A and B are shown apart, each in its own frame.
Chain A
């Protein structure tokens, strides 16, 4: 099915199931510990061998010698896999460095060996017996030092244009009545998902099956075949349950490749989980940025010039953090520029982490907007509203499909009690605490990807949905079941959803907040086909048939749905594809984030007291799981604002705090009550369900809202994330 014009009324609009705050259908499995995650597939393989990964201990250089003999003789050891004995491995398209390194080392903790043994403990103990000599070479590890060497990266679908210019930015900025020119920095961040990357691999002849934890089944199936040099049809990848990904599991990673190689070497199934201390340096991370924002405005607050430049670093062949993307679309302004520059760094490879681009980009832009509002003497909410645009500012002929941005801000301000904010910072106290309110805009584009599904009706009236879509804790199982239930007119209990298997139709997968809208559209398409099959089987005119309460009704005729499958299951498969609808109109999601913080006037510790997000993301398919997505993202935004930072050792070239002791993410005590409001909205330009993504919108802007609240509390502006106490301690009032 092709979606190329605005959605009209369809069975989804009945909203009997869609739009209801239903519990997750996979909830009981997860809360009782029965959901089989990759490392726990005891149902598949009774007696797997265990792999333990060895990471390189230099950042750049070469392995000069490797002595495996002691490890190979150790109790229980079945095999030691290295680049030397693994056979020819190619590099996939999505990873920058090789997933099994050697003799060249491209980054710290790049995997260089896998020790396979009868037990996990034996593999771990034997791994310490592998002796590796390295010759280290000097590397480039400091973004600030490398900034001057940064160049314009190659544009791709992921980056968008590297440089943009509209009007005459230099002139307009120079002539603006009020100007802001500030530089902001965001650090490298780690996804820190709860479940480590983990894989169980098993060969049957030359066919490989991997049970793994991966957000994008089709991508990674192809990448695994490419890496191993085997035909894609010989690889089956199964990823039904995922303990968090946040972008870390978008791609094939070392656990999959090493489990496959280990299983081949040991001649039996092998499972591998990346050890937690390896994850920060072995896998991907969100790259650090240096961002310069320039704003020029008339005294009445009209933006006349808006410029945003970003510098980031990556391994040779990697890509930039696209931190300027939102600045092309969020605010009006006749004269505009953006640019991205990329430095070569020999740190581990950067890649997507929840809302890549927008998350760090808004952390900079939305402090700048707060600073500019103060310079202008205009309330920060009003300043943003004054510069709203209903069209793509670079292409005014291109409207937004829906843009209730102003409503998000106005409703948020009202709900939050924004009028109680004192525009003069550092004025409000509660005992020893300094109190501040801050806000920021949230913005994330609505990306859509073609997505397929297969739907089966059996003679008990059970509807089974099969798609390689994944559920990374987001609620995909539930919204897909809701879509099928609504379309086929059956209760939720009559729907079975099976996900994450590469033998199923290819879906959008989970990433870029495209999963919910795209995958349900694919299920919609398959259900439309199944409805036609049912009608044909029952000799009804499908256009007139109503599917409701387990029946198919035409006029005053009513037939049980399962009657259509009396002679055998009915199966329909289709996928949703998109015409140029996204080119004609800009599809985005919007939020207003509001935060109250308390800063200890003596120690400078910042603690969040209240958070509110008002979100506009089209139709909300399930308000309960959507709210969970948003509060989780707000929590991640709070972490970005207050504590998350991979500390770079710029001499030795690695992230030092590479475990969950050193890399702090928020705990319950950091997160107060979070309120989420969804605007009652539909976007018929998005999909037949009129829904858009929400999983990344929730983080976009949160960091800046926290930063702005801290400034409002203290009067000290910090432009270097995370805003830890040492960055404003010297400038806080005397303790008295």
Chain B
């Protein structure tokens, strides 16, 4: 860990302004990912802005029947909220499939969105990694890739986004609300929030320098069956090989988003029109153009079989 300076912000706008002021500054909330990365010097921020004092820890109803989730609501509290459990079961289930009780107590809504990849080559600072050190190359390509991405990858990076929560938010069409250094606010649809790696895998989200997430907004409830399946080698406390989040309606229509396959939660609205024709048709379109490695090609089959199993469960 490199020495750093530290301040506590008292308002979101002040936090954003402070972040814009110091190059490389990072916000810190739960710290469940950032502190680990700092100890390994994968992240070396010269300045930390502690946002834990900003409030932003409430879940409120919105005027159009949805929910506004404060950026600092813990994963535990979000998963336990009665409205979330009743109307957004996919989100509660995805949250509870992730991490451990202790981590969920500390981890926040915004922090969960901003967690970084678990690619082992990203974590080993002796290995080239375009995400950690732009332009250094990618040791993962041609290496141990079983956990890594199969679609939307680039020649610079095949990492995945590790979040379960983000998969549910993508399926639910959530939006991310932010404040910028100049005090301006904006809403970013989840579809646009995380980026594909392209030539700049170190740029992971649409956030600008200093821009702070203040809340995540869920539109009004969709109804239907909410099913989240996280597939992994051990039964708990492991990142997904793949995860499939689905909201399925009685008329056979539905939505589906995937985790563990790409640099962002993976969803294709066009593929969802195939839902009445079954998993094979949906996944054929959803993962068209996939570029898996020999080691992770099984993920294509796994997604299809998992979705098929979800469709069976939804009928039952």
| Residues of chain A whose beta carbon lies under 8 Å from any beta carbon of chain B | 57, 121, 124-125, 128, 277, 432, 600-605, 607, 642-643, 647-649, 651-652, 656-659, 661-662, 664, 666-670, 722, 724-726, 729-730, 732, 735-736
Contact = CB atoms under 8 A, between A and B. Distances in A.
What 3 pairs between A and B have smallest CB-CB spacing? Answer: A57-B126, A602-B309, A669-B235
A110 B121 CA distance: 18
Interface string B278-296: 0100000000000000000
B144 A602 contact: no
B250 interface: no
A90 to B, nearest CB: 28
Contacts of A277: 40, 123-124
A667 B237 CA distance: 8
B158 to A, nearest CB: 14
Nearest to B295: A726
A642 B233 contact: yes
Given A667-B236, A735-B312, 6 more contacts: A605-B233, A643-B233, A651-B142, A657-B144, A667-B234, A729-B302
B104 to A, nearest CB: 15
B143 interface: yes
B191 interface: no
A353 B263 CA distance: 37
B311 to A, nearest CB: 8
B120 A656 contact: yes
Nearest to A608: B235
A582 to B, nearest CB: 40
B143 A652 contact: yes
B238 interface: yes
Contacts of A647: 120, 144, 146
18 contacts: A125-B1, A128-B2, A432-B312, A601-B309, A602-B305, A605-B233, A643-B233, A649-B143, A652-B143, A656-B124, A657-B144, A664-B234, A667-B236, A670-B236, A726-B146, A729-B305, A730-B301, A735-B279
A249 B123 CA distance: 26
Nearest to B237: A667
The range of chain B's interface size is 35 or more
A657 B239 CA distance: 13
B85 interface: no
Interface in B222-267: 229, 231-239, 241
Contact of A729 (B144, B232, B298): B298
Contact of A669 (B123, B124, B236, B279): B236
A652 B234 CA distance: 27
Contacts of B39: 124
A347 to B, nearest CB: 14
B308 interface: yes
B277 interface: no
A351 B302 CA distance: 36
Nearest to B278: A735
Nearest to B316: A431
A669 B234 contact: yes
B231 A603 contact: yes
B3 interface: yes
Contacts of B305: 602-604, 729, 732, 735
A57 B128 CA distance: 11
Contact of B306 (A603, A652, A656, A666): A603
Contact of A735 (B238, B239, B308): B308
A121 B1 contact: yes
B120 A657 contact: yes
Given A603-B306, A730-B301, A658 B124 contact: yes
B41 interface: yes
A282 to B, nearest CB: 13
Contacts of A652: 127, 139, 143
B1 to A, nearest CB: 6
Most chain A CB inside 10 Å of its own CB: which residue of B1, B2, B143, B144 = B144
Nearest to A56: B126
B21 interface: no
B124 A670 contact: no
Contacts of A651: 142-143
Interface of B: 1-3, 39-41, 118, 120-121, 123-124, 126-127, 139, 142-144, 146, 229, 231-239, 241, 279, 298, 301-302, 305-306, 308-309, 312-313
A124 B313 CA distance: 51
B133 to A, nearest CB: 14
Contacts of B120: 647, 656-658, 662
Contacts of A649: 139, 143-144
B309 A725 contact: no
A725 B231 contact: yes
Contacts of A661: 118, 123, 239
Given A277-B40, A432-B312, A664 B1 contact: no
Given A277-B40, A277-B123, A642 B308 contact: no
A121 B237 CA distance: 28
Contacts of B236: 667-670
Given A602-B309, A603-B306, A664 B233 contact: yes
Nearest to A659: B123
A664 B238 contact: yes
Contact of A124 (B1, B235, B306): B1
Nearest to B303: A603
A296 B233 CA distance: 35
A194 to B, nearest CB: 15
A185 to B, nearest CB: 16
Nearest to B231: A603
A648 B235 CA distance: 24
A726 B298 contact: yes
A432 B310 CA distance: 11
Most chain A CB inside 10 Å of its own CB: which residue of B127, B139, B234 = B234
A128 B118 contact: no
A501 B146 CA distance: 45
A600 B306 CA distance: 10
Most chain B CB inside 10 Å of its own CB: which residue of A124, A648, A656, A658 = A656
Contact of A643 (B121, B144, B234, B312): B234
B4 to A, nearest CB: 11
A735 B121 CA distance: 35
B233 A725 contact: yes
Contacts of B309: 432, 600-603, 735
A264 to B, nearest CB: 27
Given A656-B121, A656-B144, A667 B235 contact: yes
Nearest to A648: B144
A603 B232 CA distance: 9
A602 B306 contact: yes
B290 to A, nearest CB: 16
Contacts of B301: 729-730
Contacts of A648: 144
B234 to A, nearest CB: 5
B234 A128 contact: no
B233 A724 contact: yes
Contact of A670 (B118, B235, B308): B235
B118 to A, nearest CB: 6
Nearest to A607: B235
